[in-house]
Amino acid sequence: MLSALLLTVTATLAAPALEGELIFPPNDKHNHGSSIVETAEGDLIAAWFHGSGERTADDVLVQGARRNKGETTWSEPFLMADTPKLPDCNPVLFIDPTGKLWLFWVAIQANEWGSALLMSRTSTNYEGDGAPVWDWQAPIHTDPKNIIEPFKAVLKDAETALAPIMAVNPDLKKEIEFGWKAIDDKLTRRLGWMTRTRPVVLQNGRILLGLYSDVFNCSIAAYTDDNGATWQTGSPILDPRANMIGNVQPGFIQRKNGELVAYMRDNGIPHYIRTSVSKDNGETWGGVDMLPIRDTGASVASLGLASGKFLLLNNDLTDGRHRISAHLSDDEGATWKWTRALEDEPKEKGSFSYPTLIQGADGTIHATYSYKKDGIDGESIKHVTFNEEWLMETPAAAATKTE
């Protein structure tokens, strides 16, 4: 009888499934850049930024909500972080190996991404109801000196490759000139490094946090070997080809052999997911390549599953955010055999973007993303759950609808 019960439970867990709900009713504010964690007690905590705009408004703050284990609805939104008179954006939630909850985000000093100051706070009291009780907060200062020479090489290549265009395009010439000034300015190098994707814990215990700069249009990995007491940054993940520059918002998955793969948003011309490999736990990186997966340039979520499969979630389009799809690999990213849409609407009829991914203790995959749809008044954050069986089920493409 016990064996039959176990078989029934296993069959239930393995049944293809996709479910979803809005975390809060749509409202007239900008709700974007979400993150999610599952606590040891099985509760879910989500965070996102909320306000009148991303850069032009100073009322932007980080909100959160929780869905306790066994419940089907989320709590009312509560405050997670608010720097007075500054926009707070791009929150990232993470529970480290000691059980401490981290919130990373950026406080925008002068309404431009290049003025972002990387912030962090922690909590050891976050189970139960309501907002976490924060017991520590500090900025994380970045000074990636090792970006100077690689970025100057890119600028030199750009001046050569784009010289005919610059001769007739003064705006492009100004961009190149700005690049030279920016890389030689210490303050510009230190500010503007922003969060977006979930940190990962490597095989050696190192915690890796992906950062990117819209000023330098590239990525770096910040890392800590002492559970966040101190942070360092690796070399830039930077494509030396001028026509290829633009790989941002890195997320990481580690292969069994220790190689670390970065999956990044395309912030340039090709419109394919960018990727790079590190063989020294994020300190240095190889060249930037492209996956055969389209990317419109609106953030890529990456996750190494307990099964060993790799999972990506992005807008697999060249233009627009009206489809968001999951991509699954069973060979550590060499090929991507399964793709299935979580949302798919006609262009201009929906916007679904900036996803994040985690896997719960029971194997369930959780995703959150920004949600806006024609016929629904306002914006929200959507939470969905699915499993590998749903992803590998035919047909290869499907959509979930929220009325």
Give the C-alpha separation, 292 to 301, whole Å: 16
State yes or no: pLDDT of 5 exceeds 80: no
Confidence class of residue 45 from pLDDT cuts 50, 70 and 90? very high
- Please report the pLDDT score of residue 341 as a whole number: 96
Residue 398 has a pLDDT of 39
pLDDT of residue 394: 57
The answer to whether position 48 is within a domain reads yes
Buried b (16+ CB within 10 A) or exposed e, 255-270: eeeebbbbbbbbbbee
Is pLDDT of 117 > 50?
yes
Residue 191 lies in a domain: no
Q: Average pLDDT over the chain, rounded to whole?
A: 92
In a domain, 91, yes or no: yes
Residue 385 confidence class, pLDDT cut points 50, 70, 90 = very high
- The predicted pLDDT at position 198 comes to 96
The model carries a pTM of 0.92
390 belongs to a structural domain: no
pLDDT in tens, 130-155: 999 999 999 999 988 889 998 998 88
| pLDDT at 129 exceeding the cut of 60 | yes
Does position 263 have pLDDT exceeding 90, yes or no? yes
Residue 211: the pLDDT is: 98
Cα–Cα dist 46/34, whole Å: 7
Q: What is the pLDDT of residue 244?
A: 61
Mean pLDDT (whole number) for 113-128: 97
State both tokens at 381.
């954050």
Asked whether residue 128 is domain-assigned, the answer is: yes
Cα distance between residue 403 and residue 390, in whole Å: 21
The answer to whether position 292 is within a domain reads no
For residue 400, pLDDT over 60 is answered with: no
Count: domains in the chain? 1
pLDDT digits (tens, 9 = 90+) for 268-281: 888 999 999 999 99
Judged against a pLDDT cut of 60, whether residue 377 lies above it is answered with yes
Over 70: is that where the pLDDT of 403 sits?
no
| pLDDT at residue 369 tops 70 | yes
> Is the pLDDT score of 124 beyond 70?
yes
| 166 has pLDDT over 90 | no
Residue 127 has pLDDT above 80, yes or no: yes
- Any domain includes 271: no
Confidence at residue 49, expressed as pLDDT on a 0 to 100 scale:
98
In a domain, 66, yes or no: yes
For 168-218, what is each residue's pLDDT tens digit? 888 888 888 999 999 999 999 999 999 999 999 999 999 999 999 999 999
pLDDT in tens, 57-113: 999 999 999 999 999 999 999 999 999 999 999 999 999 999 999 999 999 999 999
Mean pLDDT within 42-48: 98
Could you tell me the residue range of the domain that residue 106 belongs to?
Answer: 33-139
Say what the pLDDT of residue 252 is: 98
**CA atoms of 127 and 145, how far apart (whole Å):** 40
Q: Please report how the helices 170-183 and 148-161 are oriented relative to each other, as an axis angle in degrees rounded to 10.
A: 160
Label the pairing between strands 365-373 and 380-386: antiparallel
